[in-house]
Every structure is written in structure tokens, then in C-alpha cells.
């Protein structure tokens, strides 16, 4: 059974706060016992007042560009990166002494906090770790933000962001099973970001006073202003996941659930946690484990290729087909190198899919025609990844023998098996089958024609 933890020894770091611009020293100290929780202590104020990192201490509407906690008028600003690191490292109990109202922003990510806490070592208590778990789904919506949670045996996160901006329109990431080693490699280093036109507005509101190119990514019209390149191509959605993990930890215990978040932000994250706790129950860990376990976390769409399989992730898919949000219907494609006329596509069906708004309210079902579209997109990737067809387009010419056997709902993972029945170079006939949990949900046969982009206006007469 996993046990509650704290750190072994005191560690510290100093710097300036992102929003207040105040210099501060932060000292992490071992908690005295299990059940202590995570507590911030303002050492700059008389009596060293304590503010617990709990949802009950959040301030309604205050988490505009960072998460703020307050107790008896004492505020702590921008705690989400620290809380995110604590969640990922499995730290349940911790004393955090702070010499001002805001922790240092450091490089704008959680990387340095995570490394410092790891340097402090981890110590187990005898008490068993407790989790918040779900027995039923939770749905939260506010403005453009939608967050859906369903029961799971670990924390899984599917996050989508989208902006009306030429450089940052859409990014999506899916991860499974939070683990400290993978978090440090793939999430912790993602930096906070803002658009250049926001800076003056933020500073007039008393925010981003400590912001700079060293601790934030500033997005321009067609790129970024920073000299340092992005740490990840999808760094922006990774940082949103980093923040979401930190905000989730304000529940007071680690969470086990599958979280599907579309356009999350601090205020809405906190309001979602409030709804989550209404349906969550506390359970003690029952799985044999300890703090030295090997990494088990993985990005579900980052896998190791073999000699017989070629795996194309989202970024590669976007290089081969023109489909984009909200009409991109696949997240990953496996192509069988030994049998190049077969492929398998995967689609994680999110509760945030736009078609669920009208199909159907209160009883969401994925339209069958979009399942066939997902099969077709899988086929397109298989064909258009061939060197001689790079840069071409594929068009439907017919659909036949379509059958829909089971509904596909939010939270399902579609496995889309396609096979070539006839290959005439630039025309072909495909058979597609869609499965959820090994059960056939839909099938169809369809034909297509591949054209050069310059010839796409001729397709109507040809087909």
C-alpha cells in the first residue's frame, strides 16, 4: 500500500513573483506527521500566519492568471506550480515558508520546484495514502470551458486548448497515470505563456509585474518573441495540464479520475473541483506500492515503434492530411509495415466534442457518419504518408454497406481498423471497422480518389 509522504530535509530557493514582482525566499520543510497536509506560512508577517492549500481557502473570482489562497486576510498568490509538483511527486504533507505574498516564478514552469523537492528526498509515514475517487461522472461548464470527469483507477487527463489566434489555434494532449519521472520529463518544464497584446492590460491590473522573457513565453502574431525556442512543440497545452494538476490538488488529497478538459483556466478549474468533491468519496490506497516505484505514466499517443509497425502521432498526422479542429477525427495511426495495406487509427472521444452539443443534449452519442469519417481519415493517413503521395488530397467517392451496431459515447476510445480492398494507385476501395473495448460499433466500405492539390477543382467532374 502507498503511504503518505513528506520530504526528508529542508530545501529552499529564491526569486521574484510573476504577478507581484516581489522578491521572496521559499523554504520547503518536512511536515511533522501524516495528515498535516500542505501549508504555506508567511514568515514576513507577525505571528507567522498559516494558510492551508485547500479549496476552502480559495477566493471566488480571484484566480485570473494564477491560483490564490487566503485565510483571515492573508493571501498567497500563484501557488499552482508548487502544488502541481507536489501532486506529481506524491507529497501529501509539507511545510512551505514564504517571505512574501507570492512564491518566485523562477523559469515560469514547475521544473525547478520539482527538482528542488526531489533533492529534499521523500520520506514515508506509516499512514496509508488516501485518494478522492469517483463513483459517477461529473460535468462542469462555464463560458467556453468544459470539464468532464469519470471514474478511473488513476489520474488521467485529456486537455484541449483553442484560441482565435493565427499562431495558437488548437493543441491537444492525452496522458495516463501520473508519475514523477515522466512528469519531470514531459510536463514540469512547460512554461507559462501570454499573448503580447495582453501584457499592457495585465500590468494595468497589477498583474505580470515580475514577468519577463526569462519566465514566460510571449506569443506574437506569427510566432513567439522569446529568443529561447519552445521546449516542446505543444508546450502551451502541456502548461495547461501542469496548472490543472496543481489546481486539482486543492482538493486536499490526490485524485483518481479521468479528466477531460476543454479550454481550462484557474477559476474554472477551481469551480470544477468544487463540483467534483460533491460526488467524490475518500478511499485508502489498496495497491502495493512505494515511493521508489518505477515510472508508470505514459502519454497514450507516444509509443515506441517496432520493425513491423510505424506509429504516427498527432503532429505527424497533421503533416499528411489537411483536416484540422474541429473536424480532425483521429489522434494516432498505426501502419503495419509488413502489411502496408492495413492500418489502425485511434480516436479518444471527449465529452467536449462540439457535435455532442446537439447530438443529443442529455444523451450524447457520436454521429455514425463521423465514425465513418474517422475511418476515412485513418485511410488517408495510410495512403498519403507514402512518399509519392505526399501533399496530395483524398476525396470520398462512395460509401457502401454502412452499419452502426452500438452507440459511441464520451470517454470511449475508438479503434479504427481499415484494410485496402482495391488499390489502383490513385483510386481505392477500403473496408473499415470501428471497435470500442473490442466490440464492433460500426462498419462500412468506401471508395476514394487521390488528387494533387492543384487538381482539386477537377474532382467533381472526375467523380
Pairing of strands 332-336, 342-348: antiparallel
Residue 19 bears catalytic tag: no
> Which of the residues 77, 81, 186, 266 is marked catalytic?
266
Kindly state the DSSP code that residue 58 receives in the 8-state scheme.
B
Q: Which residues contact 89 (CB under 8 A, 6 or more apart)?
A: 114, 117, 118, 122, 180, 183
| CA gap 338, 315 in Å, rounded | 23
| CA gap 96, 120 in Å, rounded | 13
The SS3 call for residue 391 is coil
The SS3 call for residue 419 is strand
Q: Which residues of 289-328 are buried (b: 16+ CB within 10 A; e: fewer)?
A: eeeeeeeebeebbeeeeeeeebbbebeebeebbebeeeeb
Q: Which residues contact 366 (CB under 8 A, 6 or more apart)?
A: 349, 353, 355, 356, 359, 407, 408, 409, 412
Residue 266 bears catalytic tag: yes
User: Taking phi first (over 0 means left), then psi (-120 to 50 degrees means alpha), and beta for anything else, what does residue 17 get?
Assistant: beta
**Are 210 and 22 in contact, with CB atoms under 8 Å apart?**
yes
C-alpha R_g of the chain: 24
How many degrees, rounded to 5, is the angle at CA 159 between CA 156 and CA 160? Answer: 160
Mind telling me the catalytic residues? Answer: 266, 359
Amino acid at each position: 500500500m502507498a503511504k503518505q509522504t513528506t520530504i526528508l530535509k529542508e530545501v529552499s530557493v529564491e526569486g521574484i513573483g510573476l504577478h507581484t514582482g516581489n522578491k521572496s525566499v521559499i523554504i520547503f520543510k518536512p511536515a511533522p506527521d501524516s495528515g498535516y497536509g500542505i501549508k504555506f506560512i508567511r514568515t514576513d508577517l507577525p505571528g507567522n500566519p498559516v494558510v492551508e492549500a485547500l479549496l476552502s481557502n480559495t477566493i471566488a473570482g480571484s484566480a485570473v492568471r494564477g491560483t490564490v489562497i487566503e485565510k483571515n486576510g492573508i493571501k498567497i498568490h500563484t501557488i499552482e506550480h508548487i502544488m502541481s509538483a507536489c501532486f506529481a511527486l506524491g507529497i501529501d504533507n509539507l511545510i512551505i515558508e514564504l517571505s512574501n505574498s507570492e512564491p518566485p516564478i523562477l523559469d515560469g514552469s514547475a521544473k525547478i520546484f520539482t527538482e528542488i523537492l526531489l533533492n529534499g528526498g521523500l520520506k514515508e509515514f506509516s499512514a496509508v495514502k488516501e485518494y478522492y475517487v469517483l463513483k459517477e461522472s461529473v460535468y462542469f461548464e462555464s463560458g467556453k470551458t468544459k470539464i468532464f470527469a469519470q471514474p478511473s483507477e488513476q489520474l488521467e487527463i485529456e486537455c484541449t486548448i483553442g484560441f482565435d489566434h493565427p499562431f495558437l489555434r488548437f493543441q491537444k494532449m492525452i496522458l495516463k497515470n501520473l508519475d514523477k519521472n515522466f512528469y519531470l520529463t514531459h510536463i514540469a518544464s512547460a512554461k507559462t505563456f501570454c499573448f503580447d497584446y495582453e501584457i499592457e492590460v495585465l500590468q494595468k491590473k497589477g498583474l505580470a509585474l515580475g514577468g519577463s522573457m526569462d519566465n514566460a513565453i510571449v506569443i506574437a502574431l506569427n510566432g513567439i518573441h522569446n529568443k529561447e525556442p519552445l521546449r516542446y512543440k505543444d508546450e502551451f497545452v502541456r502548461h495547461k495540464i501542469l496548472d490543472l494538476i496543481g489546481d486539482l490538488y486543492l482538493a486536499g488529497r490526490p485524485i483518481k479520475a479521468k479528466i477531460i478538459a476543454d479550454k481550462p483556466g484557474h477559476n474554472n478549474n477551481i469551480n470544477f473541483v468544487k463540483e467534483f468533491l460533491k460526488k467524490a468519496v475518500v478511499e485508502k490506497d489498496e495497491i502495493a506500492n512505494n515511493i521508489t516505484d518505477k515510472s508508470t505514466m505514459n502519454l497514450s499517443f507516444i509509443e515506441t515503434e517496432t520493425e513491423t509497425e510505424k506509429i504516427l502521432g498527432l503532429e505527424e498526422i497533421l503533416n499528411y492530411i489537411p483536416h484540422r479542429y474541429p473536424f480532425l477525427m483521429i489522434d494516432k495511426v498505426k501502419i503495419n509495415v509488413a502489411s502496408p495495406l492495413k492500418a489502425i487509427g485511434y480516436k479518444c472521444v471527449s465529452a467536449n466534442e462540439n457535435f455532442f452539443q446537439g447530438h443529443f443534449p442529455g444523451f450524447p452519442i457520436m454521429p455514425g457518419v463521423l465514425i465513418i469519417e474517422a475511418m476515412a481519415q485513418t485511410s488517408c493517413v495510410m495512403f498519403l504518408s507514402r512518399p509519392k503521395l505526399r501533399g496530395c488530397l483524398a476525396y470520398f467517392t462512395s460509401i457502401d454497406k454502412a452499419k452502426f451496431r452500438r452507440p459511441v459515447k464520451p470517454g470511449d476510445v475508438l479503434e479504427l481498423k481499415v484494410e485496402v480492398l482495391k488499390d489502383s494507385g490513385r483510386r481505392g476501395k477500403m473496408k473499415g471497422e470501428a471497435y470500442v473495448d473490442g466490440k464492433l460499433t460500426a462498419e462500412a466500405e468506401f471508395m476514394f480518389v487521390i488528387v494533387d492539390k492543384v487538381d482539386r477543382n477537377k474532382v467533381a467532374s472526375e467523380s
